[in-house]
Amino acid sequence: TIAKIDDSPTALRYPRGNAYGDLELPSEPRFLEPGKGRISREGRDGTIALLSVGSRLRECLEAAKRLEQFGISATVADARWV
């Protein structure tokens, strides 16, 4: 993504510590549109949303799974550009 941004200042952030390492990388690099997040899990009711910032997506997805046990269906949004 950073290689395609040539019209504004940019920064590249490396995470501190180890990553989980269990997610498959795409075979072809994808351009991540600056300023756009994504919905990682769509809730049913539209009443609660968990916003993942930084490296907390895994924890948000787990929280949504636990909430499901109480009948609460949460949307999880990955706000990677905050």
pLDDT of residue 27: 84
More confident residue, 17 or 82: 82
Task: Say whether 68 sits in a helix, a strand or coil.
Answer: helix
Q: What is the pLDDT of residue 11?
A: 72
Please write the tens of the pLDDT for every residue from 28-77: 877 777 778 889 999 998 889 999 987 788 899 999 999 999 999 999 99
- Looking at residue 33, its pLDDT comes to 77
